[in-house]
Amino acid sequence: MHTCSSYCMRHPKGKKNKQRICRAGAGEEQNKDLCDTPGFPLRTEPTIDFDNRGFYRLHMPRNNLRLVQSPLHVLRGWRGNCDFTVLLYASPDGKPNAEEISRTTDYIVGYQCKGAETAQVERAVLRDYILK
């Protein structure tokens, strides 16, 4: 269940005096600095919409304003904290072009590298994971 806090609330780019927006998608806060967002939109049917970054996003049916959607079989198999997103691209021939592949790999690499110490420390950590 998602409860908005100062961790997920962000100001719109270039608009520090505006109400903050939940980066998880739970909406805009109704009262300044109170993190009181309306929650995720309820849906009866699955839809594919653009997210706030311009990516296509799959939205499954939702009957709860605060429930975070995650594939249950992934959660059961992983048994840990997951951040799971399906990335969708509209290629006319069903084959993604190099720019789409680049955007996907840039996203994944950027996500994996956030908070990393240095390249040397990162290599050592990954080597230890592989050798164990």
Confidence of residue 74 (pLDDT cuts 50, 70, 90): low
Number of domains in the chain: 1
- The answer to whether residue 127 is domain-embedded is yes
- Residue 6 is assigned to a structural domain of this protein: no
In a domain, 130, yes or no: yes
Assigned domain for 104 exists: yes
Asked if residue 19 is part of any domain, the answer here is: no
The DSSP H or E segment spanning 47 is strand 47-50
Any domain includes 128: yes
Residue 13's region, left for phi above 0, alpha for psi from -120 to 50, else beta, is: beta
- 10 falls within a domain: no
Give the model's pLDDT for residue 116: 57
Q: How far apart are the first and last CA of the chain?
A: 34
Q: How many CB atoms are closer than 10 A to CB 119?
A: 9
* Per-residue model confidence (pLDDT) at position 79: 61
The whole domain housing 103 covers 94-132
pTM of the model: 0.55
Whole-number average pLDDT of the chain = 78
Has residue 84 been placed in a domain?
no
